[in-house]
């Protein structure tokens, strides 16, 4: 593995991890009223497109990090709809 792959994995790890505090807070407090579901739908759409790009380019760091980010952000969407006041 070369330095560019390591750089790609590190960048992807940080951007993927960015949503973890929000997920943790929503899970712990069950409060999501101030969280925008629209932003997460736009984000997971972009992540999905990055995954397709990674597959086309056969780029493992792009596929792996964006795939994990897609799952985490999809889970956040689930939490938003689960805990949102009706």
Structural domain count of the chain: 1
Among the residues of the chain, which ranges form H helices?
3-17, 20-29, 37-57, 60-83
Please give the chain's pLDDT, 86 residues, in tens: 788 888 888 998 999 999 999 999 999 999 999 999 999 999 999 999 999 999 999 988 899 999 999 999 999 999 999 999 76
- 44 closest CA partner among 65, 71, 63: 71
Report the CATH number at residue 44: 1.20.1280.290
For residue 29, what are the domain limits? 3-83
CA dihedral sign, ordered 83, 85, 48, 24: negative
pTM of the full structure = 0.88
């Amino acid at each position: 593995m070369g330095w560019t792959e390591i750089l790609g994995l590190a960048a992807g790890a940080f951007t993927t991890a960015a949503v973890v505090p929000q997920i943790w807070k929503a899970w712990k407090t069950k409060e999501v009223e101030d969280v925008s579901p629209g932003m997460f739908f736009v984000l997971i759409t972009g992540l999905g497109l990055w995954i397709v790009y990674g597959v086309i380019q056969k780029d493992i760091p792009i596929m792996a990090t964006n795939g994990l980010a897609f799952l985490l952000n999809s889970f956040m969407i689930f939490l938003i709809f689960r805990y949102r006041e009706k």
